[in-house]
Chains A and B, each alone.
Chain A
Amino acid sequence: MGETTNQNVSSETGDTTQPTADKIPVKFDLTPFLDIMKSVGIVIGSVGSIAAIFLWIGYAIIVARLRAYNLYGIVRYTDEYTTEAGYQFFQDMFTFFQDWKVVLLFIAVIIAIIITIPVGPFIGSKINPQPAKGIKCFFNIFVIIRQQGLNYLIFSTLAISACLVLVTNLPAKKLYSNIFEQEQLLSMLVEECKSGPLLFAPRKGADKKANTFQKIFYNELSKSEKPTREWLAEVLAELNPEDRSDIRDKIIKFQQEFEIRESPDFNFNGDFDKSETYRTLLNIRLSSKLNVELPRRIDKTLADIHMLLGRILTSEEGESFSTLVAYTANNRPVNDSIQELGLYRENVEVFFDHKDSHTANIIDDLKKLRTFNFGQFFLSYAFWTLVGIFIYLVINSTRIINFKQWELGYFATMVLIFLTIIVTLPTTYGRYKYEFKVLKLNDIVFAGDEKGENPVRKKLDQLKSRDAGLYILGPTKGKEVILGAIKTTGDSAVNTPQIIMMDRETVKYMNVEPLRARDIPDIIALFRQSR
């Protein structure tokens, strides 16, 4: 910022002499007052602009989501709800910081903005800084960047790249490829699990390292393994199904194979619980359980991804990737499933060791599984760059009068980039990240409808009699919007979603409940059906 020089200010400080100033005595110097007014103007203007931007973001998010559901022009949301969308946007921008990689990205972007933000007019300098070493040399680079005007180039690169990220739909494409990567990884894991058994051996001292939740996992796993005579017979039979000998012989054989020096005669009055035979058999039994349970959970997670992908995998109608990623709520059941699988894998690893390479490979591959998060890096990058451009525009807006032609062009370019990002960022967020609060309607009582003759009530009863799910679309403006949806197949007339709009004053009360995550994809499919 050191290259800036204001001609007016420098003339007052006496650097240049103006002949008229000597001749006309100045009674009141208004310059400090004007400076204060200018600063106040900048502050008020900035605050006003931030407020306007905040409102704009809320509206842009809602409009983008309404358009995605084909409800634009039908449903209008209250101003409070629109403002909430803005709050949610800002909250998410800061919630992304839970990921340390986003924090690093934020630091890098902010440092780049601080170092390169142009403060016009550009003057430049041909004076080379003194040769220096260490940290001073580092600062000299920044001085050179600013003196040579390279900061204009770097800053515009930042702005254009943020703009490109949004207009090319890069976050959506990334999410799309990520979903298929996870699907392929899980498909591969399912096949690997079929190719051989998974062998887990107990880990020594695991109980001391395990936290409360991990201990709950172990207790659940071993809950049904009670040290009874029946259990012993069952485990030994499972271990060697071909062996038809007497249970005592089986115990002796087992003890010999595992070099256990214990009596094979147990009274099951507490002696078996403490025996090495029980401990070894329990560990084998749990290992055998995991050999079934872990692949089952992998199968389940893959099934959940296939549920998300629905017909897209087999569709012959050329479904575009956008249908897959347009609705974040669709990803939630899959993300839950992936997280559960990840937690299960972690719990297994606390208590069990994987000795063979086959099991180790499967565990390593499981570690590569990732939940689907929509573009938190891209959105953060675009948002913080937008903040940088906004600051550039605020700082330079009072100085453009002194700009040369090329710098005016640069300023105009930044205005255009700012407009592009301010349009596309909330649109992208609204389209891919934001979700309406849809609630399931259980019951509704209309004012003065003791006889049940309200026409809307009749319509709702009619829908209910056809097994329709009824949903309300949150705080809509003036009217209450109810979505009625019948999933019964075979009757095309009732498959069409019904959108009922009614005056809110007519409703006495409503009984609603939140939607379960697994119900959301169905509702979204119904919204889409109305297109």
Chain B
Amino acid sequence: MTLKLRNLSVLLILGTTILVLAALSGTASAFKEILPGGELIYPGVGIDTVRIGEPLPSRLPSLLEKSIAERRIVIHVEGSRKAVERITILSPDYALARSQIRVRVNTFDEVLRYYGSGIVNNQDGRQTVQFPTEGMEFVFSKRSGLIEAISVFSPLRPKIRIQQYRIFKDQFKQSR
């Protein structure tokens, strides 16, 4: 038993030395850089600091305030609840999350390639593609073929039919 433990201690010393070296090398390792990103647009949700369905924050980042003042971002607020209803982005400073699609950078084809087919409309010399269930709309310039505006709004949800409620009518009639 003593002999076995002696061998074990030798192994332990060797192992620990390796571990210490590994630990020290780990301490020295540097993390990779996070790329600084501008604000992102989330379909059906809003942008980093302003969210659809929520009131407009009392304090906005200076860059966003500037963008609103210069009408590079238009925020539609619903009257009674003062909740944000729709955000229209006309500036290339903002990119859609994941796809990184931007105004005046990406084209109609690139949008369809990433998001699949949407509802295409041609009106007033403009082409629009709507994704109602995602809660976003793109407006394209006919001349350049690039995105002119990206709008995000509350997505269209599957509706409950009255027949579905009726199945549980007794429960719906009761008080809480």
Where the two chains meet, the residues of A that have a C-beta atom closer than 8 Å to any C-beta of B are: 64, 67-68, 122, 124, 148-149, 152-153, 156, 160, 163-164, 166-167, 169, 193-199, 201-207, 218, 224, 239-240, 257-260, 276, 279-280, 283-284, 287-288, 291-293, 295-296, 299-300, 302-303, 306-307, 310-311, 313-315, 317, 319-320, 322-323, 326, 351, 353, 355-356, 404-407, 409-410, 412-413, 416-417, 419-420, 423-424, 427, 467, 469, 487-489, 495, 518, 524-526, 528-529, 531
Contact = CB atoms under 8 A, between A and B. Distances in A.
A281 to B, nearest CB: 9
Q: Which 7 A-B pairs have the closest CB atoms?
A: A409-B9, A406-B6, A303-B42, A303-B45, A201-B171, A413-B12, A416-B16
A405 B27 CA distance: 33
Contact of B35 (A163, A311, A427): A311
Given A202-B172, A424-B27, A525 B158 contact: no
B119 interface: no
B13 A412 contact: yes
Contact of B20 (A280, A404, A419): A419
Given A258-B172, A314-B98, A322-B31, A296 B53 contact: yes
Contacts of B9: 406-407, 409-410, 413
B48 interface: yes
A279 B169 contact: no
A424 B172 CA distance: 59
Interface in B44-64: 44-46, 48-49, 51-53, 61-63
Contacts of B1: 124, 148-149
Contacts of A302: 45
A280 B172 contact: yes
B42 to A, nearest CB: 4
B37 A199 contact: no
Interface in B24-52: 24, 26-27, 30-38, 40, 42, 44-46, 48-49, 51-52
Most chain A beta carbons < 10 A, residue from B17, B19, B40, B46: B19
Contacts of A526: 36
B173 A292 contact: no
B34 A525 contact: yes
Contacts, number: 221
B15 interface: yes
Contacts of B157: 193-194, 197, 291-292, 295
Nearest to B66: A467
B5 A406 contact: yes
A319 B51 CA distance: 28
A306 B160 contact: no
17 contacts: A164-B19, A194-B155, A197-B157, A199-B160, A260-B173, A287-B172, A291-B158, A291-B159, A303-B45, A303-B46, A355-B167, A406-B9, A407-B9, A409-B9, A413-B9, A420-B20, A529-B33
Contacts of B45: 299-300, 302-303
Contact of B23 (A201, A351, A420): A420
B6 A409 contact: yes
A416 B154 CA distance: 59
A204 B31 contact: no
Contacts of B12: 156, 160, 409-410, 413
Contacts of A68: 31
A196 B158 contact: yes
A518 B61 CA distance: 11
Interface in B106-122: none
Contacts of A299: 42, 44-45, 135, 155
B51 A300 contact: yes
Contact of A487 (B44, B61, B171, B173): B61
Given A152-B8, A167-B26, A406-B5, 19 more contacts: A64-B27, A67-B30, A149-B5, A196-B158, A199-B168, A204-B176, A260-B173, A283-B172, A296-B53, A299-B135, A303-B46, A303-B51, A310-B40, A413-B9, A413-B12, A423-B23, A469-B62, A487-B63, A495-B36
Given A260-B173, A406-B5, A518-B49, A424 B13 contact: no
Nearest to A210: B176
Contact of B176 (A202, A257, A303, A487): A202
A330 to B, nearest CB: 9
B32 A167 contact: no
Interface residues of B, number: 70
B176 A206 contact: yes
Contacts of B15: 160
A306 B2 contact: no
Contacts of A405: 6
Given A163-B19, A410-B12, A218 B100 contact: no
B144 interface: no
B13 A420 contact: no
Given A258-B169, A287-B160, A416 B37 contact: no
A417 B168 contact: no
A411 B66 CA distance: 66
A279 to B, nearest CB: 6
A351 B169 contact: no
A529 B32 CA distance: 11
Given A303-B42, A405-B6, A284 B63 contact: no
Given A258-B166, A487-B61, A163 B16 contact: yes
B172 A201 contact: yes
Most chain B beta carbons < 10 A, residue from A67, A287, A307: A307
Contact of B62 (A296, A315, A320, A467): A467
B175 interface: yes
Given A409-B6, A413-B12, A199 B97 contact: no
B49 A424 contact: no
A385 to B, nearest CB: 14
A195 B158 contact: yes
A326 B167 CA distance: 51
Contacts of A406: 2, 5-6, 8-9
Nearest to B165: A284
Contacts of A310: 34-35, 37, 40
Contacts of A355: 167-168, 171
Contacts of B80: 224
B164 interface: yes
A306 B176 contact: no
Contacts of A148: 1
A353 B167 CA distance: 14
